[in-house]
């Protein structure tokens, strides 16, 4: 099993000029990114929506790779989104799923059927032409260049260690360095769009 921070460290050198939507990996990505203006770390506007948001970005910016670090708790709320993404076939869309098997921010309660679900098979069944699953960092590291080197949409399920938070929300370390408004403003400016 790998740690989210280590997985993102492996990914970082391959980022190039891709748009990165770090989802619940945002707390680690903020220390790794070399191009924050192409990152869209929104935290959690409404659970279950990261895949939809990333799809929208990918459709609006077909000339750029869009990298999403989704989570299993989010996608379980929106499994139908996989079908929409598969139908749209965005060639620039790279869908990574951080699967720690639980709701880590609420104390670590397991997601439904956590030990017996195969997200890569669900994605493939939804119509993703390529889907992978990795639970070891070395395997992931070996296959990543090929995954990113071919067109999307591609789905990559990553089994990671749970890092459970039990502190009251108000006492947790705040990893965001920018407000959501600022994130959107910076991103649009980087893309040459109006405010």
Partner 1 sequence: MSDAAATALSPETVLGEMKKNGVTHVVWLPDSETNWLYLLMKAEPSLRLVGVSREGHACSIAAGLSVAGARPLILIQNTGMMESGDSLRGWLLGLNIPVVLMVGYRGWTRHGVNQDSAATYTERFLMAFGINYYLVENDADAPRISIAFEEAERTKRPVVVLVGDEYHGFNR
Positions touching partner 1 (CB under 8 A) are: 19, 40, 42, 44-61, 78, 80-81, 83-84, 87-88, 180-181, 184, 187-188, 191, 193
Prior bond to 153 cis, omega within 30? Answer: yes
Nearer to partner 1, 113 or 195 (CB): 195
Nearer to partner 1, 30 or 78 (CB): 78
Nearer to partner 1, 86 or 154 (CB): 86
Nearer to partner 1, 13 or 80 (CB): 80
| Smallest gap from residue 114 Cβ to partner 1 (A) | 23
């Amino acid at each position: 099993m790998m740690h989210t921070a280590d997985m993102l460290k492996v990914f970082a050198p391959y980022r190039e000029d891709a748009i990165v939507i770090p989802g619940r990996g945002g707390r680690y990505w903020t220390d790794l990114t070399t191009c924050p203006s192409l990152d869209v770390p929104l935290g959690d506007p409404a659970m279950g929506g990261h895949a939809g948001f990333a799809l929208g970005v990918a459709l609006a910016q077909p000339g750029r790779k869009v990298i999403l670090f989704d989570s299993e708790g989010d996608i379980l709320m929106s499994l139908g989104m996989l079908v929409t993404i598969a139908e749209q076939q965005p060639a620039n869309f790279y869908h990574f799923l951080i699967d720690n098997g639980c709701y880590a921010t609420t104390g670590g309660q397991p997601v439904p059927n956590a030990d017996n679900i195969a997200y890569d098979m669900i994605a493939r069944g939804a119509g993703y032409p390529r889907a992978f699953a990795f639970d070891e960092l070395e395997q992931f590291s070996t296959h990543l260049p090929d995954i990113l080197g071919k067109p999307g949409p591609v789905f990559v399920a990553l089994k990671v260690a749970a890092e459970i938070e039990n502190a009251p929300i108000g006492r947790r370390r705040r990893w965001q360095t920018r407000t959501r408004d600022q994130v959107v403003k910076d991103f649009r400016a980087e893309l040459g769009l109006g405010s």
